[in-house]
Amino acid sequence: MSVAIEVRRLRVGDEEVLRLRSLQDARFDEPGVEPAARTPHSVESARAFLSEETTVQLAAFADAEPVGQLLAYELARRHGDGKLMLVYEIGVRDDHRRQGIGRMLFDALRSICRQRGIARAFVITNERNVAATAFYAALGATRESNDDVVYDFDWS
């Protein structure tokens, strides 16, 4: 039986979702990655985080439970090339991987970018993370050269 997945942007009012999600960080990391010691959000810090308009925190829900997330930041440029979106992190909970949730999160980000007039996004990853590099390439991202780990998404 397949569970319907809902993807939405977290906003002020979703502090508890973000706080609970931050308590489960290890379940969203790649296998074999030692989880970093991180301070979970309080309700107050989650509210401050979610109130930033240039911060895009997306969450994927299965039966109202967060099972995926994507965090991106809108970056203003110092020259006339327009704004960019930096994809800071993406994660799908270990028991929901390989079900298209990562792609759904990127589709939602692409939609937000189009609404905001942002034609390009990028992500920086470690080239040793074979799963991530294959995932970004499958989404249409390109690398300018083999010696960098920046993947560009051109959504214009």
Spell out the domain ranges in the chain. Answer: 5-30+40-154
**Is the overall model pTM greater than 0.95, yes or no?**
no
Topology of 5-30+40-154 in CATH?
Aminopeptidase (3.40.630)
pLDDT tens, per residue, the chain with 156 residues:
467 999 999 999 999 888 877 766 666 666 666 656 677 788 888 899 999 999 999 999 998 888 999 999 999 888 777 899 999 999 888 888 888 999 999 999 999 999 999 998 988 887 777 888 888 889 988 887 766 666 677 777
Residue with tokens 């308009």: 53
